[in-house]
Amino acid sequence: MSANGEGSSKPAALTPTPPTNGNGTTAQARAGLVPSNNVTTKDGVTVRTRIEPTLPVDDVIRALCLNLKLRDPPAMYALRDDNDELVTNDNLRKKVKGKVNLKLVNAPAIEAADIVEKLVTRDARLAFALTALRKYIREEQFADEFLKRDGLNELISVINTAHGNTLAYALTAMQNLMELDHGWNNLGDDFILRVVQILSSKQSLINVCRPATAILKKLVEASAASAPIAHLASSSKGPPAPPPESVYRYGFEAVFEQIRKEARMLETVVDRLGSADTTMALYSMMLINSLLANATDTRWDEFINSIERLNVRKAVIRLMPSHTIEDLTSCILDFQANMMRVTYRQKMTLVEPDFDEVHNAALKYIWSNSKINEESYGPDILKWRKLGFDSEDITQEFREVGLLGLQCLKHFVAKDPDYWAKVVQEQLSRPEERRCPIAKASNEVADLLSEHWAIYAPGYSSTTFKPFFLNFYKVHALATQFFLRMWNESGASRGDFPRLVALTRSQVKVALRRENERPWHEVEQEFLECEYRAVRDRQMKELEMEDDVMSKVPMRNLRAKLYKESFEFVRQQRIHCLLEGAWFMNGIPVIPAVPRDTIRRPSRPWRFIRLDNGLKYLHYVDSTIKFPVRKGLEDLPERIDMTMVSEIATGTCVPYPNVLQGIDVAGASSPLAASSLSFSLLTPSGSSLADQIAPDQSRWADWTDGLNMLRKDGGHVASKETETFVQALTEIGLKIKLLDLSGEKVDIPSGLVAGPPPTNCDFFYSNLPYETQG
């Protein structure tokens, strides 16, 4: 046997005719080398070699060094493919079967030592060293060698002093290191503050801000609450905590404590939502979502107040018309889901002015702006009844809408204090029976809007943009003004309050219809310019079609309870689909969400994916054809850690045209257009772990929603199918409950009388579904 040199004038140094053993197996084959594939040395020599895929990589390298008569020991070498990906025991079989060209290069230990030396010297080679570092640091073998040589401290030192592109390279290297679940557990507050300061500076370059934003996001999510069980230490005195060497020791509070030291940091991040660079806007959106999803009780009020003060909702609404890339759409929907959770929490928070200074201050603001002269009513004035409440027990009055109702009323007053004072004085000038209970009306409107946007439970959001929901306080103000106008135009009295609530509910449905399509000025027109008679006539027609019992408070509460149960049922069904597994087409990303240097082109067109029973890993196998996959995980050698997945981006990729010629891909209008049935699993840094195309809409909905539901924060529902399914189950459950409630009015017989037996045997039992039988 011989090996021919390619790309060099000298022949490869392999034994021409190796001796065989008694079984006819050559010594070279036992070493793992038989002429077949290309391996290129550092000197440019290419040899034809077959590698036995069952051998460890160290044995393969040792055999290569022996046959090529290299002087350096095998420990100084490693194998990489044409894309510079390190060959390991885990991927050797795949690369050998794919006949991938390999290169014999410096071992990770050699590369790490060389890069650390360049970081220390800070000479002209620093930029080249950082470029190589950000590429190799993702590899666990290289990262371990880099960390052993105190490379992390040297990298942090560069980050503390560098500027411009050098700083961008260093931050990207740190970002890539943090994709590993070890090695960065000793990052101190000084480092976090430095990253915060970088983001706070408006002079920072975009390529600096991107990795800095991703680093902060990763730190926010690296808390004990999000750590896998393997990274927690059991404790009999309290909940499990991460051991000292775990990276899950940071979290929201560690980051927010440093953010508080830079007053303009959050403001600058929000400003970048309007950046012309869509990727910068995407990263900023992801950081805000991460902070919202991980905010702790200790700093909750402070952080949410900051978000509201900076008017993040308005900035996100501006992004909606320009959502040209699907991953930005996904981030906006995530933000909506987060704000749903914020709104739900506010609704469930009791108003307690005696114990909470913020609540007390809000009530004082409302009262002082009402301009009521307390002296004219004497010392025993029942002031809250003057504003329309039924009692002076504020906690009880806000019980149904909680802090959300208080904030709505405060914003209504703040929008136009003079109008508020005028309305209050106008109502007080009327006989008590004819006064509109303004504060009570405000709470009812807040409750109606909560019902309209299904704010029943955290963890669920719509599949479409809801800019009117993000304008919750403005919509509340318009609807409250509508309520007051209808009260005046109809000449209502106290007993007509429920009728006016029903009228407002009807108008809310009409004014907020097709939310993702209609402009804001049409909503204002619906509330401010409609006439009482027209609204009343339309409502009467609606009542003819729908029983008024459905609008009662007990029915609304029942609907909310059934909604939660239906959502949990659909969640379990979607996750069951993941546990069963399915075939998908491999794809290639065509959007800026996935950095080009992270794209790995699969050598086979099909992939079968299955979730393990622990709901921690997606196991998969790539194949040239579809084949029957056995139960369990034996046929699925590869896996994806779900803790690494921070986003399920949809509409992201197309199939490889040279791999899938002749295959019709549903949802793709052209070879260059992303399929509507595609999705990508993205890490916090934006790199892709998988890019798949579903065979049909049903499987796409099952998997995108199922994967989102696996996320700690519940994610958002991506498909209309799931949203419709949840609503349909809720309505069916509601009708069944109504049948139960009214069943006692039905004359139920105590027994059934059997009819006469058949006169002959000329009959059979049909296999058709019951509902299709005649």
Q: Three-class SS string for 132-147?
A: HHHHHCCCHHHHHHHH
Same domain, residue pair 387 and 519: yes
Question: For residue 130, with 0-12 CB atoms within 10 Å meaning exposed, 13-18 middle and 19 or more buried, which class applies?
Answer: buried
Same domain, residue pair 285 and 367: no
Closest CA relative to residue 675, chosen from 690, 661, 695: 695
Look up residue 191 and give its two tokens. Answer: 């480092």
Q: Stretch 334-347: mean pLDDT, rounded?
A: 92
Q: What is the per-residue pLDDT for 728? A: 85
- Report percent pLDDT > 70 for the chain: 81
Q: What is the per-residue pLDDT for 566? A: 84
Same domain, residue pair 288 and 182: yes
Report yes or no on 416 lying in a domain.
yes
Report yes or no on 168 lying in a domain.
no
Same domain, residue pair 251 and 185: yes
Q: What is the Cα–Cα distance from 213 to 175, expressed in whole angstroms?
A: 9
> Is the confidence at residue 633, as pLDDT, over 70?
yes
Q: What is the per-residue pLDDT for 421? A: 94
Q: What is the Cα–Cα distance from 65 to 57, expressed in whole angstroms?
A: 12
Same domain, residue pair 503 and 539: yes
Q: Please, which pLDDT band fits residue 395 given cuts at 50, 70 and 90? A: very high
Q: Stretch 289-306: mean pLDDT, rounded?
A: 92
- Alpha helix (H) residue ranges in 25-183: 27-31, 57-68, 92-97, 108-121, 126-136, 140-148, 151-161, 164-177
> Is the confidence at residue 718, as pLDDT, over 70?
no
Summarize pLDDT for 453-504 with one digit per residue, the tens: 988 766 556 678 899 999 999 999 999 999 999 999 988 998 999 989 989 9
Instruction: Supply the mean pLDDT for the chain.
Output: 82
The residue ranking higher by pLDDT, 673 or 565, is 565
Report yes or no on 696 lying in a domain.
yes
> Is the confidence at residue 515, as pLDDT, over 60?
yes
What phi-psi label fits residue 7: left (phi over 0), alpha (psi between -120 and 50 degrees) or beta? Answer: left
> Is the confidence at residue 202, as pLDDT, over 50?
yes
- Provide the 10 A C-beta neighbour count for residue 112: 24
Q: What is the per-residue pLDDT for 375? A: 64
Tokens 């998988």 sit at which residue? 690
**Cα angle: 99, vertex 59, 11; to 5 degrees:** 60
Report yes or no on 129 lying in a domain.
no
Q: What is the per-residue pLDDT for 464? A: 84
Q: What is the per-residue pLDDT for 376? A: 62
Report yes or no on 552 lying in a domain.
no
Q: What is the Cα–Cα distance from 260 to 196, expressed in whole angstroms?
A: 10
Q: What is the per-residue pLDDT for 547? A: 54
Q: What is the per-residue pLDDT for 367? A: 93
Q: What is the per-residue pLDDT for 281? A: 87
The residue ranking higher by pLDDT, 41 or 579, is 579
Tokens 């992801």 sit at which residue? 286
Report yes or no on 15 lying in a domain.
no
Q: Stretch 678-700: mean pLDDT, rounded?
A: 85
The residue ranking higher by pLDDT, 753 or 135, is 135
Same domain, residue pair 572 and 507: no
Of the residues 511, 546, 581, the one at which a domain ends: 546
Amino acid at 726: V
Same domain, residue pair 463 and 387: yes
Q: Please, which pLDDT band fits residue 5 given cuts at 50, 70 and 90? A: very low
pTM of the model: 0.72
CATH number of 668's domain: 2.30.29.30
The residue ranking higher by pLDDT, 500 or 564, is 500
Report yes or no on 372 lying in a domain.
yes
Q: What is the per-residue pLDDT for 459? A: 55
> Is the confidence at residue 592, as pLDDT, over 60?
no
Q: What is the Cα–Cα distance from 542 to 461, expressed in whole angstroms?
A: 27
Q: Please, which pLDDT band fits residue 510 given cuts at 50, 70 and 90? A: very high
Same domain, residue pair 710 and 654: yes
Q: What is the per-residue pLDDT for 461? A: 62
Report yes or no on 305 lying in a domain.
yes
Q: What is the per-residue pLDDT for 545? A: 60
Same domain, residue pair 212 and 296: yes
> Is the confidence at residue 300, as pLDDT, over 50?
yes
Contact by Cβ (8 Å): 242, 231? yes
Summarize pLDDT for 224-271 with one digit per residue, the tens: 887 776 555 555 455 567 777 788 899 999 999 999 999 899 999 999
Q: For the chain, give the longest Cα–Cα distance.
A: 115
Q: What is the per-residue pLDDT for 239? A: 58
Q: Stretch 576-583: mean pLDDT, rounded?
A: 92
Q: What is the per-residue pLDDT for 146? A: 95
Q: Stretch 27-51: mean pLDDT, rounded?
A: 67
Contact by Cβ (8 Å): 701, 721? yes
Of the residues 485, 517, 546, the one at which a domain ends: 546
Report the interhelical angle of 252-259 vs 206-221 (nearest 10°).
140
Same domain, residue pair 78 and 34: yes
Q: Please, which pLDDT band fits residue 366 given cuts at 50, 70 and 90? A: very high
105 forms beta bridges with 78
Q: What is the per-residue pLDDT for 280? A: 84
Question: For residue 662, with 0-12 CB atoms within 10 Å meaning exposed, 13-18 middle and 19 or more buried, which class applies?
Answer: exposed
| Domain that includes residue 209, residue range | 178-227+246-310
Contact by Cβ (8 Å): 267, 306? no
Q: What is the Cα–Cα distance from 259 to 300, expressed in whole angstroms?
A: 14
> Is the confidence at residue 350, as pLDDT, over 90?
yes
Q: What is the Cα–Cα distance from 5 to 46, expressed in whole angstroms?
A: 6
Q: What is the per-residue pLDDT for 31? A: 45
DSSP 86: B
Q: How many domains does the structure of the chain reveal?
A: 4
Same domain, residue pair 466 and 571: no
Q: What is the Cα–Cα distance from 616 to 608, expressed in whole angstroms?
A: 17
Q: Please, which pLDDT band fits residue 593 given cuts at 50, 70 and 90? A: very low
The residue ranking higher by pLDDT, 177 or 461, is 177
- Provide the 10 A C-beta neighbour count for residue 750: 4
CATH number of 101's domain: 3.10.20.90
The residue ranking higher by pLDDT, 669 or 82, is 82
Question: For residue 587, with 0-12 CB atoms within 10 Å meaning exposed, 13-18 middle and 19 or more buried, which class applies?
Answer: buried
H or E element at residue 679 = strand 678-682
H or E element at residue 48 = strand 46-51
Of the residues 106, 126, 146, the one at which a domain ends: 106
The residue ranking higher by pLDDT, 35 or 414, is 414
Same domain, residue pair 696 and 645: yes
> Is the confidence at residue 15, as pLDDT, over 60?
no
Q: Three-class SS string for 5-39?
A: CECCCCCCCCCCCCCECCCCCEHHHHHCEEEEEEE
